Chains A and B, each alone.
Chain A
Amino acid sequence: MSIQQLLPLLLLFPLIGAFINGTAGKKLPKIVAGSLATLMTFVSFLIALTIFLNLDQPVRSLLFTMIDIDSLHLDAALYADNLSMWMTLIITGVGSLIHLFSMGYMSHDKGYYKFFTYLNLFIFSMLILVLGSNYFMLFFGWEGVGICSYLLIGFHYDDEQKGLLNGLAARKAFIMNRIGDLGLLIGLFLMLLSFGTLEYEQVSRMVLVDKILPNGNMLFAITICLFIGATGKSAQIPLFTWLPDAMAGPTPVSALIHAATMVTAGIFLVVRSNYLFHYAPFTREIILYIGLATSIVAAFIALRQNDIKKVLAYSTVSQLGLIFVALGLEAYTTAIFHVTTHAFFKALLFLGSGSVIHAMSGEQDIRKMGGLKDKIRITHITFLIGTLAISGFPLFSGFYSKDEILGYAFGHSLTIYILLVISVTMTAIYMFRLYFVVFHGTFRDSKDVEHHVHESPLSMTLPLMVLAVLSVIGGVLNLPGIFLHGSGTHFLNNLLNKNVAGLDQIHNVHPDHTTTLILMGVAVAICLTTLFISSIVYKKKGSVPSEDAQLSAWETFSNKKMYWDELYDILFVKPIEWFSKVFYTIVDSFILSGIIEGVVRTVAFSGDIVRKWQTGKVNSYILWMVFGIIGFITYYLIKL
């Protein structure tokens, strides 16, 4: 089978899974429903792997034509190049592992089949997002993942205690995303306006080969709109507050959607449109600073969060900010590299936290945990690996990807580099804090809970182990050239440059070897120092995060998420509610209703009057006919 034929199959399997589980899932045994969904995703992964290995030049596979009007031609087509296939591999690969994990994690849930339906549907939408051959398909998948994310965040909407909160979190995520989606949509319209097409191939040919570019303002508008879309989906300032709340969803969802895949859609969008951003330097500046700000702000908030998943959520936001810094620096392959390693270790951390929560019978507050390292051994080790990877511990995957970003930042400007280093340091601090508080020290919850603590089943630990291995060795995907000078280095770089439009035209200046080594030294030093200090503070002294009341000023500031939600409340929600009230009382109730009721009354009233014209007497009828004729003739005479 050719790649063209294989591509639709890639999408078909998750869809079939979603369909079967969605229609007949209720009647299937849990093991069947779960295995089916997992298998479908895994088959997709295998197909993706086959395609990936055989792919040389970009392949386009037309499914059908959606719209074909005069000037607007939209195809539903799939497009495979190394970028989309790389993303597909991450989605289906990590997706399969998380499906497997979910089979154990969700085993006590009554909405089991529904969960897997949504998960498969999500995989399907995400694949459309990355594999679509034009921005419209991307938008289609974009909305699809949005819906799935909404459904999955609010999955436990009927929970007795937290049902309402879960629903609110889902709604928040959805509404926040709508804002971004609107930006994206406007971007697409502008693009259609200036290029006349939304096909990646055509747009890239126009920009790169024919050098047909819209004027600067238009290009700025397009790119900034695309970026607004990306801030929504990838949780950047100002639209990032939904992601921590989205942790209301089941943990596998957080791992899959809100850490590994969906939130990277914005990054994918920017990398996909790199040639547009290349000619919009001002937008790139904005991306750079937004990413930087997000990275630092989120890392700062994460310092004093006490919910295990919230810490990871802010860490995700922070890491995404880091990736956007890379995008702002035009280091696209580095961004994708970090997306990949981040997918590994963040999925690992989330799943690990899921395993912890599972062991703690649903408790998420780290103040109640502690000393878990001997009780849940596999989870402990894998979680440690994840922590080391994200903190940039030497030779772990995070070390390489993060280091590349830092290297480019250094090459760009020292200030940005220092700010990034601060962010990275904070990352290491909160991650080690999390690790030590959870796994070391003494158990702080009731004996009853302690008695229950147990290691998760194999279906949950297996994905952890696989992801742990990947987190350790993930760095080989794009080894820097300083240690080895062979063909093994810069694998991902070469891969993406090979056939992804626009990427090969960007030549970033790598810092020279000495600088690189110094930078690496700094990073390693930071990581090790933090590790050392953290271990002393939390392990040796056994200090525990203090209660909210005892926090110092900056700690409260961090703990209360820098009051972003309150700020938005004052800036947007309150004024809008006020306007809404005003419009309701004055405009709607008074003016509009008045007008409408007035119209209705007038119509009814005139109906009554006109009705009385009909007297029922033939003589009056004929009289009116005569009047009519006289009227005709009079008109004629006047006109004469």
Chain B
Amino acid sequence: MLIYFNFASQFLGKDMSSTVDYIPVIIQAAVAVGFSLATVFLVPKLGPKLHSRKKDMNFECGLEPEGNARFPISIRYFVVAILFVLFDVEVIFFYPYAVNFNALQLNGLFAVLIFVGFFLTGFIYILKKGALEWDK
């Protein structure tokens, strides 16, 4: 505990007058820990229990489980999804540029042009590589 105080004082970067100042913190920590422990241990005791085959099943969600969950999905889905995310994220970078459009002047324009140029190169590469062709 002493270490903890010491540690905390280091973090906050100011001297602690006494341990009194920490009482609220301790109370809060105690409540937090107590509550979570209480829920974990009390809830199973308090509620009524009804067991059935369906209820005890893994991933119970009310629906009848059907077939095997581990069937293969075409890799294309993932490729397209990743490419979408990639280019989607690219768009995000335009936002700060748009906000600062005036301030950045011509230099900014060049920078963005280079940036877009790279992505365009990447896009061309993807096209040529055939990543977007569905049946190949």
Residue numbers in B under 8 Å from A637 (CB-CB): 3, 7
Query: Which A589-640 residues have a C-beta within 8 angstroms of B?
Result: 637, 640
Residue numbers in B under 8 Å from A640 (CB-CB): 6-7, 10
Bound: A640/B3 CA distance, A: 9
Residue of B nearest to A640 (CB): B6
Which size bracket describes the interface of A in this complex? under 10
Residue of B nearest to A633 (CB): B7
Residue numbers in A under 8 Å from B3 (CB-CB): 637
Residue numbers in A under 8 Å from B10 (CB-CB): 640
Bound: A239/B55 CA distance, A: 104
Residue numbers in A under 8 Å from B7 (CB-CB): 637, 640
Could you give, for residues 1-12 of chain B, a 1 whenever the CB lies within 8 Å of some chain A CB and a 0 otherwise? Answer: 001001100100
Could you give, for residues 515-554 of chain A, a 1 whenever the CB lies within 8 Å of some chain B CB and a 0 otherwise? Answer: 0000000000000000000000000000000000000000
- Expressed in whole angstroms, the minimum distance between the Cβ of B12 and any Cβ of chain A is 15
Bound: A640/B10 CA distance, A: 10
Bound: A637/B10 CA distance, A: 11
The tally of residues in B whose CB lies under 8 Å from a CB in A reads: 4
Bound: A555/B11 CA distance, A: 104
Residue of B nearest to A634 (CB): B3
Bound: A620/B10 CA distance, A: 32
- Expressed in whole angstroms, the minimum distance between the Cβ of B5 and any Cβ of chain A is 12
Bound: A55/B10 CA distance, A: 91
Bound: A637/B7 CA distance, A: 8
Residue of A nearest to B7 (CB): A637
Bound: A640/B6 CA distance, A: 9
Residue of A nearest to B10 (CB): A640
Bound: A640/B5 CA distance, A: 12
Query: Which B71-115 residues have a C-beta within 8 angstroms of A?
Result: none
Bound: A640/B4 CA distance, A: 12
Bound: A637/B9 CA distance, A: 13
Query: Which B10-32 residues have a C-beta within 8 angstroms of A?
Result: 10
Bound: A640/B7 CA distance, A: 9
Query: Which A27-51 residues have a C-beta within 8 angstroms of B?
Result: none
Query: Which A261-275 residues have a C-beta within 8 angstroms of B?
Result: none
- Expressed in whole angstroms, the minimum distance between the Cβ of A419 and any Cβ of chain B is 93
Could you give, for residues 334-348 of chain A, a 1 whenever the CB lies within 8 Å of some chain B CB and a 0 otherwise? Answer: 000000000000000
Bound: A637/B4 CA distance, A: 10
Could you give, for residues 32-57 of chain B, a 1 whenever the CB lies within 8 Å of some chain A CB and a 0 otherwise? Answer: 00000000000000000000000000
Bound: A253/B7 CA distance, A: 90
Residue of B nearest to A638 (CB): B3
- Expressed in whole angstroms, the minimum distance between the Cβ of B53 and any Cβ of chain A is 32
- Expressed in whole angstroms, the minimum distance between the Cβ of A637 and any Cβ of chain B is 6
- Expressed in whole angstroms, the minimum distance between the Cβ of B106 and any Cβ of chain A is 46
- Expressed in whole angstroms, the minimum distance between the Cβ of A45 and any Cβ of chain B is 90
Residue of A nearest to B4 (CB): A637
Residue numbers in A under 8 Å from B6 (CB-CB): 640
Could you give, for residues 230-267 of chain A, a 1 whenever the CB lies within 8 Å of some chain B CB and a 0 otherwise? Answer: 00000000000000000000000000000000000000
Bound: A637/B6 CA distance, A: 9
- Expressed in whole angstroms, the minimum distance between the Cβ of A536 and any Cβ of chain B is 114
Could you give, for residues 391-431 of chain A, a 1 whenever the CB lies within 8 Å of some chain B CB and a 0 otherwise? Answer: 00000000000000000000000000000000000000000
- Expressed in whole angstroms, the minimum distance between the Cβ of A218 and any Cβ of chain B is 66
- Expressed in whole angstroms, the minimum distance between the Cβ of A220 and any Cβ of chain B is 71
Bound: A637/B5 CA distance, A: 12
Bound: A125/B10 CA distance, A: 81
Bound: A486/B50 CA distance, A: 144
Bound: A640/B9 CA distance, A: 12
Bound: A210/B22 CA distance, A: 88
- Expressed in whole angstroms, the minimum distance between the Cβ of A636 and any Cβ of chain B is 10
Bound: A309/B64 CA distance, A: 116
- Expressed in whole angstroms, the minimum distance between the Cβ of A324 and any Cβ of chain B is 84
Could you give, for residues 342-360 of chain A, a 1 whenever the CB lies within 8 Å of some chain B CB and a 0 otherwise? Answer: 0000000000000000000
- Expressed in whole angstroms, the minimum distance between the Cβ of A474 and any Cβ of chain B is 100
- Expressed in whole angstroms, the minimum distance between the Cβ of B128 and any Cβ of chain A is 35
Bound: A640/B11 CA distance, A: 13
Residue of A nearest to B3 (CB): A637
| 5 A-B residue pairs with CB within 8 Å | A637-B3, A637-B7, A640-B6, A640-B7, A640-B10
Interface residues of A (CB under 8 A from B): 637, 640
Q: Which 5 A-B pairs have the closest CB atoms?
A: A637-B3, A637-B7, A640-B6, A640-B10, A640-B7
